[in-house]
Amino acid sequence: LLPVYQNSGMDDGYVSLEVSPLLANDVDGTLQSARHLWQAVGRPNLMVKIPATAAGVQAFTVLIREGINVNITLLFSLSQVEAVWDGHIVALQARQADGLPLGHVTAVASFFLSRIDNLLDGQLPEALRGKAAIALAKVAYARYLARFHGEEFAELRKLAAHPQCLLWAS
């Protein structure tokens, strides 16, 4: 998929390889595994997949600062999403402060919306079933636009930083 990546201007053609789920609560283990995958593959279109646990969000921030692409997954709440976005922005600002390029670093945050409906539908009246995740997605997207296409990210965008993407997963 490297040619797809190159021909799309880094918008497509990524491949995700995930660290062991046994490392979900181990910052150092996640970092070590992610760095190993990044070096072993040696391709700019790799995304290292890590879970959005507290340890995973810490590792995510370090990896983005180091210039490693990350697919952070298993996001189930707006607070998790916001923590990931905070980490993404902090990491890019640190790269900028260190004089490192921003344009090649990207991330995807995989928001598992259907699982939210699965959890809540039994607690909701019939008319609202299947709608909680859509409502949450709309709120998350509005917050995404405000953060990554507004003033907060404007300086980083001028330096070729990519706004973090959201991937609405089922």
Which are the catalytic amino acids?
Answer: 49
| Phi then psi dihedrals of residue 117, to 5 deg | -60, -40
Rounded Cα–Cα distance for residues 60 and 132 (Å): 28
Smallest Cα–Cα separation from 47: which of 11, 17, 6, 9? 17
The amino acid present at 128, given as its one-letter code, is L
Rounded Cα–Cα distance for residues 104 and 69 (Å): 8
Structural tokens at position 71: 């697919």
DSSP codes joined into one string, 137-160: HHHHHHHHHHHHSSHHHHHHHHTT
